[in-house]
Structure formats: C-alpha cells, structure tokens
C-alpha cells in the first residue's frame, strides 16, 4: 500500500533528525584539521560568502561552520529534500529549492531561476549561501555557471570548501555520495576567494567557472590527502583523471571472455547459418576468424575503422576520406558486419583503404586480426562495443576512439547496472566523440575519460549516391506522375503506407508510391500484401520498372535510397510509426526532400527536433494523418518548397562534427617515431 503524503513527511523528518545526530556524532568523535589553520576565520571575512562544494561531498560542511555563520543551502527539487531540510535545521541552515540545468533543455523548469533569486535575497539579508557547484545528474565535478552567476548578481565572493574523513563509504551514484564515518581524521580545506565583477562578460564568466572547478578539485584532493584517505574511492567515474590507472577487468568481463572462448568452435556453425540466409559471404568467411584476405598495404601508419552496417559506414566514410587527405602516409582497413555494408565499401573505398569483415568477438580471433594489421589507431563507431576487440586492442597499447558515439537512455541504464563491464571498457577509449551533450554525459558516467560533444557525423555525410542512368530510366517511367516515397519502412508500417496510397489516390489518381523497406529481403512479402489489396505492384529485385499502371513500386534493393529520394519531393522516413526510434532523415533533407515522420524518433531525437523547429519536418500518427499531410504538400508547392529550403538551412546549422572528429583523431595517430618505438617493444 502506498504511503500517504503525511506519512511520507513524518518518515522524512525522522530520517533527517537521525542524519543530523549522526553528523554531530561524526564531527565530535573525529580529529578535525583545518587547512589553512584560520580557515573558519576566512569564511567570516567579507561576510556573507557563497560557499561552493561538490555534490556528494557536503555532509560535514554544516557541522564545521564557524560560530555566527547563518546560511541558506540550495538543494534540487527531489524527494530527498525533506530529509536534507530536517538534517540541516539543527545547524541553522535553511533550504532553497531548485537546481540549474547545466545547459540542458528540459520540458519542466527545474526551479533554478527561482532558487537564484532567493539566494540573492538571502545574501542581501546577510545570510551566506551554500551551493553545490556541479548540477545533477552530472557530469560530476564539472562546475556549472549557476554559482558564478550568483556571485556576479550579488557581488559576494565564492569560497571553495572541501571536507574529507579517513573513514568513509561512498555510494555508487553519479556523484559518489560520501557518508563520513565516526572516529576519523577529518580535514577541512578552505580555498581562496573568487570574485566575479557585476559586468562580467560571457568569456570572463567561463573563466571564473573554470577557476571554481579547478579550486574545488584541488581542495578536494588536498582534503583527502590530509585525512589520509583514498580519494579515488570517492571520485565519480566521470571525474577520474585521464592518466589514472585503468580499472581492472572484473568478474563479469572475465566470465564473458571465458564464454566467448568456449563457444569459439561454434563460430563456423553460426556463420554457416547466416550464409544460407544470404547474410554472409561464404568466400570471405575466414575473415570472421581474424584471417585476413589481404595484406597490409603501404609502409606508413594504418588506421582500423569499424562500423556495424550501412548507416554507420555511410557516416564514417567521410572521416576516412578526411584522414587520408590529411596524411599521405596513412592507410585504412575498414571492418563491417554485413554484406550490404561490404558492397558499399567496395564501391566507395579508394586505393589506400581495404575492407574486411569484422572478426567474431573472441580473444583469439581478435589477437589474430590485430597481429596481422598492426593498426596505429582503432576507431569504433556509434554503439559498437565489442569487449574482446576493445580489450585486446588496449592490451597492445593501440589508441582507441569511439566516434559518432550514441547511447540511448535504456542502454545507459543497462550499462550502469553492470559497472564491472562498463568501467573497464569505456575507460579504455582514449577519446569518445558523442553525438550530443546528453550522450556525452552518459558516456562520462560510464567511465569514459575524454568525452567530447562533437555532434552527429551523419549531418556532415554526403548525400547517398545516385546512378545517373537509373535516374533517367525512372524519371522517364514516372513522367507526369506524382511520386511519394516511404523509405526505410519496418514490418508493421507497410500496411499503413498502402492505406495511405489508397486514400491519396482518390485526389491524385496518377500517384505512384515507392516503398523502400529497411530490410530488402521483405520485398516479396510486401508485394504480395499489395496485390492482396487489389493494387498493381512492380518490384526492383525482379528487374521491373514502374509502368503507367503501377500503383506501388517496391524498391527492395541495396544502396539506392539516393535514387528514390531524387525522384520525389516528399518522403516518409520509417521506423517511426512503430516503436523503433526512427531512421535517418538527413539523407532525405540533403537531397531536397520534405521529411515526414511518425512519433517514434528517439534514435535521431536531436536531428528531428531541429528539423521540426526549422519547419523542415512534419509528424504524423497514422495512415489518415499521413495522407492528409502528403495531400497538403502535393497541393501547395509554396509550402513544400519552404520545407525543402528549411531542411537545407537546418543541415548547415547542425554541421561541424566532421571537422572536429577528424582533427581529434589525427592527434591520436602516433608519430613515426612513436610507432617505431612501439613496434620494437
């Protein structure tokens, strides 16, 4: 049975009182060392100050306040606030509810603006303000601008304060919330005051923010050193220094490695089954066992790039081109896992790059692959996390990078519950270039040490190729007809597209709808479904071209989306009417096509949000609303052209990831002298 609000409040008060008593007990039973010795007096100088602490490290600050110190503490709006309020009451500290957003966009305001106003008023009334410089839910130990803004508005100084005890326990949350234990050596470090002018410009605000961050980190390290405690146990994974020792492989990772060793003999069976379904190239099957079908080309440096399939390959190929253009001595081996991506690589890789299938994730196969190619840098794309490949690469001291890194909320939650897997793996990447700020925070929380919000590489990817001869043939076949494309559709969406076609045909009798399924092998089943509804169909895989009487054309081919987008001005991008998360809309927008999507868009949330805000994309929920939207755009050329222009403008604003990614990766490729030294080892 759920507790009543009154009962919850009673429990919170009781818990808070116990916490206050425990805090006093820890304080009185411990030997306190102030650093500097007159630290408490410094806090009272230029009173009232803004006391900045790190989240999770504030438990003992209230107990160590000097006599005459009165303060308000800013606490985020969450259920634990009642407990904290009751715990702070005996120390003459009042609560201000609210938290900053650290640059994030929330649907609900988190109370940061209101809290800032209350804090300014408290300082004006001669009450100090205690504030956590980092903002929930992280990354931890990264100061937000809220504390600096408060100092600017109030004219009061910021004093960084850190407290540590020799005995403590740290919770496994984002901030490593620390519970100080009694009978300890307790160290309290008070940093130098930081003043912020009331006319500080944004660049000075950023400088002061960095000053707060640096000072707090130094104070924290000093506090733990003075107390004789291990600071790393209380350090959040997102704040672990880049040069810190790598976390060891835990029991779960060792179990995974042992399991992949045991099932290695079954790899031929697995790939044999896939070959029978047309998902493997039987001629090149040895590549799956780490046996190269080609030699290492050239004498210069070699970069290994791994992409999962077509989408990831299309996104990373411009990076490959950029690296090769910058370094004449560079060569590339690109690995992928699908036949379709292998075909794309064959058609688009130049003379200094070769394609191989990625080996099965077994320690032995990984070592065989690495011993042959001897890469100087390994680049993984998006969410391709293969433990044995990563660990074996790191073991050989080969720099690792994860580019266009993507991490959904669901995946982050799963990884977070398995710290024994996530920490050793993500910490081994020398750089993680995330698609957006939210994903960057997720990777940092999982242990990645050098995380960069680089943007989405797919924005900078060139449009998919179009065969000129095929384009002419299709344009002649569809001359004088309205054309609507449903691209990358999934099972469950095709029937909605067929219904949409029937609704549209009432107003546009010459309409030809093109369905390009995400998985081309579904083409025949879709064609049969269309025929069963009394419509005429033609099918690409059968070599057919749409005729004057073709209602729906099933484009069950590989690598031809560019052709179909070029044939239309309006495209529905699939994976969005079902709960899949949507497919990439950027290719359509880049080829001057207005984008329509269903409500499921989380795979490309940032991109769809930007396109919708720019007026370059429309959202629908059913065949009826899809038909209404397509009908409106087919009937109003002015509105349609506005959407297309807005798409181009939006892509220009979103671009830039390619340049940042390429420059970061170039810095990770060892110089010739370093490569020779590593080879000698």
Strand partners, 514: 485, 553
- Look up residue 541 and give its DSSP letter: G
Token pair belonging to 109:
């305001």
Backbone angles phi, psi at 293, to 5 degrees: -95, -5
- Within 10 angstroms of residue 368's Cβ, the number of other Cβ atoms is 17
- Look up residue 137 and give its DSSP letter: T
CA distance 148 to 204: 10
Alpha helices in 327-448 (DSSP H): 339-348, 363-373, 387-395, 409-416, 419-426, 437-445
- Within 10 angstroms of residue 86's Cβ, the number of other Cβ atoms is 20
CA distance 50 to 73: 10
Is pLDDT of 622 > 70? yes
Confidence of residue 588 (pLDDT cuts 50, 70, 90): very high
pLDDT tens for 453-490 read: 999 998 888 888 899 999 999 999 999 999 999 999 99
Is pLDDT of 585 > 90? yes
- Provide the 3-class DSSP secondary structure of residue 332: strand
Average pLDDT over residues 132-157: 90
pLDDT tens for 535-570 read: 999 999 999 999 999 999 999 998 899 999 999 999
CA distance 588 to 599: 18
Are residues 176 and 224 in contact, defined by beta-carbon separation less than 8 angstroms?
no
Q: Which of 204, 236, 268 is the last residue of a domain?
A: 236
**Looking at the structure, do residues 477 and 411 belong to the same domain, yes or no?**
no
- Look up residue 268 and give its DSSP letter: H
**Looking at the structure, do residues 524 and 546 belong to the same domain, yes or no?**
yes
Average pLDDT over residues 245-271: 91
**Looking at the structure, do residues 328 and 222 belong to the same domain, yes or no?**
no
Alpha helices in 54-103 (DSSP H): 81-88
Are residues 167 and 183 in contact, defined by beta-carbon separation less than 8 angstroms?
yes
**Looking at the structure, do residues 160 and 65 belong to the same domain, yes or no?**
yes
Residue that is written with structure tokens 């969406």 in the block:
493
Confidence of residue 106 (pLDDT cuts 50, 70, 90): very low
Are residues 569 and 647 in contact, defined by beta-carbon separation less than 8 angstroms?
no
Count helices and strands in the chain by DSSP H and E runs = 26, 23
Element (H, E) at 251: helix 251-262
Residue of 626, 577, 586, 590 whose CA lies nearest to 606 = 586
Is pLDDT of 100 > 60? no
Residue of 380, 316, 398 whose CA lies nearest to 353 = 316
Token pair belonging to 457:
């590489």
Q: What pLDDT score does 626 carry?
A: 97
Mean pLDDT across the chain: 90
CA distance 221 to 226: 9
Is pLDDT of 576 > 90? yes
**Looking at the structure, do residues 223 and 341 belong to the same domain, yes or no?**
no
Q: Looking at the domain assignment, is residue 666 inside a domain?
A: no
CA distance 143 to 464: 42
**Looking at the structure, do residues 288 and 219 belong to the same domain, yes or no?**
no
Residue 279's contacts (CB-CB under 8 Å, 6 or more residues apart) are 338, 339
Cα angle 611-612-613, degrees, rounded to a multiple of 5: 95
Q: Looking at the domain assignment, is residue 118 inside a domain?
A: yes
Token pair belonging to 367:
């070592």
CA distance 368 to 362: 10
Q: Is 564 exposed, middle or buried (0-12, 13-18, 19+ CB in 10 A)?
A: buried
pLDDT tens for 388-443 read: 999 999 999 999 999 999 998 889 999 988 888 999 999 999 999 999 988 998 99
Q: What pLDDT score does 600 carry?
A: 96
**Looking at the structure, do residues 316 and 411 belong to the same domain, yes or no?**
yes
Alpha helices in 281-404 (DSSP H): 310-326, 339-348, 363-373, 387-395
Is pLDDT of 308 > 50? yes
- Provide the 3-class DSSP secondary structure of residue 588: helix
**Looking at the structure, do residues 256 and 221 belong to the same domain, yes or no?**
no
Which DSSP string corresponds to 285-301?
Answer: GGGGGT--SSPPPSSS-
Q: What pLDDT score does 94 carry?
A: 82
Q: Looking at the domain assignment, is residue 663 inside a domain?
A: no
Average pLDDT over residues 619-628: 97
**Distances 283 to 275, 339, 370 between C-alpha atoms, Å:** 10, 12, 21
Strand partners, 163: 188
**Looking at the structure, do residues 422 and 502 belong to the same domain, yes or no?**
no
Q: Which of 423, 455, 487 is the last residue of a domain?
A: 455
Residue of 177, 190, 153 whose CA lies nearest to 64 = 190
Is pLDDT of 105 > 80? no
Q: Looking at the domain assignment, is residue 109 inside a domain?
A: yes
CA distance 474 to 463: 19
Is pLDDT of 109 > 50? no
CATH of the domain at 522: 3.40.50.2000
Q: Which of 203, 236, 269 is the last residue of a domain?
A: 236
- Look up residue 548 and give its DSSP letter: T
Q: What pLDDT score does 246 carry?
A: 87
Domain that holds residue 584: 468-655
**Looking at the structure, do residues 501 and 533 belong to the same domain, yes or no?**
yes
**Looking at the structure, do residues 11 and 134 belong to the same domain, yes or no?**
yes
Residue of 380, 264, 394 whose CA lies nearest to 312 = 380
Q: How many domains are there within the chain?
A: 3
What b/e sequence results for 296-316 when a residue is b if at least 16 CB atoms lie within 10 Å of its CB, and e otherwise?
eeeeebbbbbbbbbbbbbbbb
Q: Looking at the domain assignment, is residue 679 inside a domain?
A: no
**Looking at the structure, do residues 222 and 279 belong to the same domain, yes or no?**
no
Backbone angles phi, psi at 159, to 5 degrees: -120, 110
Q: Looking at the domain assignment, is residue 597 inside a domain?
A: yes
Q: Looking at the domain assignment, is residue 12 inside a domain?
A: yes
Q: Is 406 exposed, middle or buried (0-12, 13-18, 19+ CB in 10 A)?
A: buried
CA distance 133 to 191: 14
Torsion over CA of 663, 667, 671 and 677, rounded to 10 degrees?
Answer: -150
Is pLDDT of 273 > 70? yes
Q: pTM score, two decimals?
A: 0.76
CA distance 440 to 139: 9
Q: How many Cα atoms sit within 13 Å of 396 on the Cβ side? A: 24
Q: Looking at the domain assignment, is residue 576 inside a domain?
A: yes
Active site annotation includes 587: no
CATH of the domain at 259: 3.40.50.11720
Confidence of residue 666 (pLDDT cuts 50, 70, 90): very high
**Distances 525 to 520, 522, 528, 531, 543 between C-alpha atoms, Å:** 10, 5, 5, 10, 17
Candidate list 280, 312, 392, 496, residue with the active-site label: 312
Is pLDDT of 186 > 70? yes
pLDDT tens for 328-376 read: 999 999 999 999 899 889 888 988 999 999 999 999 999 999 999 999 9
Average pLDDT over residues 201-221: 95
């Amino acid at each position: 049975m759920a507790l009543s609000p009154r009962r919850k409040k009673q429990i919170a008060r009781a818990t808070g009182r116990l916490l206050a008593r425990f805090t006093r007990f820890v304080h009185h039973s411990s030997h306190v060392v102030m650093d500097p010795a007159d630290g408490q007096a410094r806090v009272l100088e230029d009173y009232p100050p803004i006391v900045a602490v790190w989240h999770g490290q504030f438990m003992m600050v209230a107990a160590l306040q000097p006599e005459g110190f009165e303060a308000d503490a800013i606490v985020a709006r969450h259920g634990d606030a009642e407990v904290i309020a009751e715990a702070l009451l005996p120390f003459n500290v009042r609560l201000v509810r609210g938290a900053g957003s650290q640059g994030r966009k929330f649907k609900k305001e988190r109370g940061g603006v209101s809290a800032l106003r209350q804090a300014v008023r408290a300082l004006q009334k001669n009450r100090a303000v205690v504030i956590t410089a980092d903002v929930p839910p992280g990354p931890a130990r990264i100061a937000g601008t809220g504390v600096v803004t408060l100092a600017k508005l109030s004219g009061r100084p910021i004093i960084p304060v850190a407290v540590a005890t020799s005995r403590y326990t740290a919770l496994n949350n984002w901030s490593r919330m620390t519970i100080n234990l009694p009978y300890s050596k307790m160290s309290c470090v008070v940093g130098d005051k930081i003043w912020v002018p009331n006319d500080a410009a944004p660049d000075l605000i950023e400088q002061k923010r960095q000053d707060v961050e640096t000072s707090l980190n130094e104070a924290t390290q000093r506090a733990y050193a003075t107390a004789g405690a291990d600071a790393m146990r209380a350090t959040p994974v997102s704040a672990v220094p880049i040069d810190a020792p790598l976390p060891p492989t835990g029991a779960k990772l060792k179990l995974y490695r042992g399991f992949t060793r045991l099932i290695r003999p079954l790899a031929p069976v697995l790939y044999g089954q896939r070959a029978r379904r047309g998902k493997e190239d039987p001629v090149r099957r040895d590549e799956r066992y780490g046996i190269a079908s080609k030699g290492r080309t050239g004498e210069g440096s070699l970069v290994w790039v791994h992409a999962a399939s077509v989408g990831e390959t299309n996104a990373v190929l411009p990076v490959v081109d950029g690296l090769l253009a910058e370094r004449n001595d560079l060569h590339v081996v690109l690995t992928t896992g699908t036949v379709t991506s292998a075909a794309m690589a064959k058609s688009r890789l130049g003379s200094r790059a070769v394609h191989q299938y990625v080996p099965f994730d077994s320690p032995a196969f990984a070592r065989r692959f690495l011993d042959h190619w001897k890469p100087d840098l390994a680049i993984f794309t998006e969410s391709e996390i293969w433990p044995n490949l990563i660990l074996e690469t790191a073991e050989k001291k080969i720099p690792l990078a994860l580019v266009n890194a993507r991490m959904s909320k669901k995946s982050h939650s799963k990884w977070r519950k398995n710290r024994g897997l996530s920490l050793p793996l993500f910490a081994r990447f020398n750089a993680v270039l995330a698609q957006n700020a939210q994903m960057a925070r997720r990777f940092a929380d999982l242990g990645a040490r050098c995380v960069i919000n680089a943007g989405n590489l797919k924005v900078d990817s060139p449009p998919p190729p179009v065969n000129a001869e095929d384009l002419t043939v299709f344009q002649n076949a569809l001359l004088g007809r309205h054309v609507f494309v449903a691209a990358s559709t999934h099972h469950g969406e095709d029937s909605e597209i067929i219904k949409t076609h029937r609704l549209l045909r009432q107003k546009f009798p010459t309409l030809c709808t093109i369905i390009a399924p995400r998985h081309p092998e579904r083409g025949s089943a879709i064609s049969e479904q269309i025929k069963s509804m009394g419509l005429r169909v033609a099918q690409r895989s059968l070599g057919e071209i749409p005729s004057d009487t073709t209602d729906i054309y099933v484009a069950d081919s590989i690598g031809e989306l560019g052709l179909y987008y070029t044939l239309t001005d309006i495209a529905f991008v699939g994976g969005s009417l079902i709960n899949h998360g949507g497919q990439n809309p950027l290719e359509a927008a880049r080829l001057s096509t207005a984008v329509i999507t269903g409500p499921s868009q989380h795979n490309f949330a940032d991109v769809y949000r930007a396109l919708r805000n720019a007026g370059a994309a429309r959202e629908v929920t059913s065949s009826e609303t899809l038909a209404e939207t397509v009908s409106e755009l087919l009937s109003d050329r002015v509105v349609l052209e506005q959407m297309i222009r807005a798409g181009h403008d939006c892509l220009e604003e979103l671009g830039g990831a390619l340049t940042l990614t390429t420059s970061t990766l170039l810095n990770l490729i060892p110089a010739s002298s370093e490569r020779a030294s590593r080879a000698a080892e």
